[in-house]
Amino acid sequence: MQINLITGISGSGKSVALRAFEDAGYDCVDNLPVSLLENLIGTLAKEKSERVAVAIDARRGQSIAELPSILENLKRDHQVRIVFLNADTNTLVQRFSETRRRHPLSSNDKENQSATLIEAIDKERNLLEPLRAQAHSIDTSNLPAHALRSWIQDLLKDKPIGLTVIFESFGFKKGVPSEADLVFDVRCLPNPHYDQLLRPLTGNDKPVKEFLEKIPEVVSMENDITQFIEKWLPHYIADGRSYLTVAIGCTGGQHRSVYLVNRISEHFRSQRSLASLQLNFLDRHRELDSIPAAKP
């Protein structure tokens, strides 16, 4: 059975992610107590269920500490993947303020709600840290719901074995993705933004590609990043990782970083020498994916 555990910080989008799994045909269970997980999987296995997504959070406090050992037991007979959703504290506070909902770990201290909320978020981070360390992490701080659904859909296309390498472009002006394992800053490269004809375009567009591929520094940066990843990729595989996020950032996340993510991802996808490593690749463009698609 393919078991996807959806967890993470309250307010980071677990409900959105679970609905994406449901839309993909998974059997879905929300807010399941940790103590019932093994019984649930046993029941679904008897019913010949092949794919299940379960959302679990830290609202039951210390019982979450039992989850890593439970997952290790399940991995003996099933394929288990952990999807961890995260967001920065300021974003979470804003979301709780907008929805006027109480954090699951909040106390009943009504005199100091803001401090109580922040304390609850910090407590939840500490409780879930053992899970985050072994999960596929997604930072939803600057990610609207439609983009998160799209990223989950892309995640469901990869194979449940080997190492999944995520190449992600982003804009430094909106912060570094918290899930990034490797971060490359390409703001030193010439910026197409200052060309009036190229400014409204992106790194996916042919004129921008032609502009950047003619610049020696861009070519050199691409080669250096590619060689670095090629050199250290076997070490990350040997470390037993399931996911490796390579984040490439420019100022706005529109031109240079998008172009380089596409180029570097294409390079690794074309390397036959890597076939034996059972690698899977995903591409993400955080700032571009955050723009709603135009209605027809």
Give 159-191 pLDDT, tens digit per residue.
555 788 999 999 999 999 988 999 999 999 999
The rounded distance, in Å, linking the Cα atoms of 116 and 105 is 9
Give 65-87 pLDDT, tens digit per residue.
888 889 999 999 999 999 999 99
Q: Are residues 199 and 146 part of one domain?
A: no
Q: Are residues 134 and 270 part of one domain?
A: no
Q: Are residues 145 and 9 part of one domain?
A: yes
Q: Are residues 138 and 215 part of one domain?
A: no
Three-state DSSP state, 111: coil
Give 239-287 pLDDT, tens digit per residue.
878 889 999 999 999 999 999 999 999 999 998 777 667 788 999 999 9
Residue 201 lies in a domain: yes
Split at pLDDT 50, 70, 90, the class of 295 is very low
Residue 296 lies in a domain: no
Between 248 and 142, residue with greater pLDDT: 248
Give 1-54 pLDDT, tens digit per residue.
999 999 999 999 999 999 999 988 899 999 888 889 999 999 999 998 999 999
pLDDT at 159 (0 to 100): 55
Range of the domain at 72: 2-155
Q: Are residues 211 and 148 part of one domain?
A: no
Residue % of the chain over a pLDDT of 90? 58
What is the count of structural domains for the chain? 2
pLDDT at 114 (0 to 100): 47
Between 205 and 107, residue with greater pLDDT: 205
The rounded distance, in Å, linking the Cα atoms of 49 and 65 is 27
Indicate the DSSP class of residue 160.
Answer: S
**Which CATH number belongs to the domain containing residue 66 in this structure?**
3.40.50.300
Say yes or no to pLDDT of 111 above 50.
no
Buried b (16+ CB within 10 A) or exposed e, 74-99: beeebebbbbbbbbbeebbbebbeee
Say yes or no to pLDDT of 238 above 90.
no
Q: Are residues 8 and 149 part of one domain?
A: yes
Domain end call among 107, 128, 155: 155
Split at pLDDT 50, 70, 90, the class of 158 is low
Q: Are residues 200 and 138 part of one domain?
A: no
The rounded distance, in Å, linking the Cα atoms of 249 and 142 is 14
Give the torsion sign (CA, 199, 204, 210, 216). Answer: positive
Domain end call among 133, 155, 177: 155
Residue 294 lies in a domain: no
Residue whose structure tokens are 């393919």: 2
Q: Are residues 19 and 145 part of one domain?
A: yes
Residue 174 lies in a domain: yes
Residue 8 lies in a domain: yes
Q: Are residues 151 and 7 part of one domain?
A: yes
Q: Where are the alpha helices (DSSP H) in the chain?
A: 14-23, 37-46, 67-74, 89-99, 113-132, 145-155, 206-213, 216-238, 256-269, 286-289
CA–CA–CA angle 223, 229, 235 (5° rounding): 155
Q: Are residues 139 and 257 part of one domain?
A: no
Domain end call among 135, 155, 175: 155
Helix axes 216-238, 206-213, angle to 10 degrees: 90
Q: Are residues 202 and 142 part of one domain?
A: no
Look at strands 2-8 and 79-86 and give their pairing.
parallel
Say yes or no to pLDDT of 113 above 70.
no
Residue 279 lies in a domain: yes
CA distances from 121 to 11, 60, 100, 132 (A): 10, 14, 15, 15
Residue 295 lies in a domain: no
The rounded distance, in Å, linking the Cα atoms of 86 and 11 is 8
Q: Are residues 210 and 86 part of one domain?
A: no
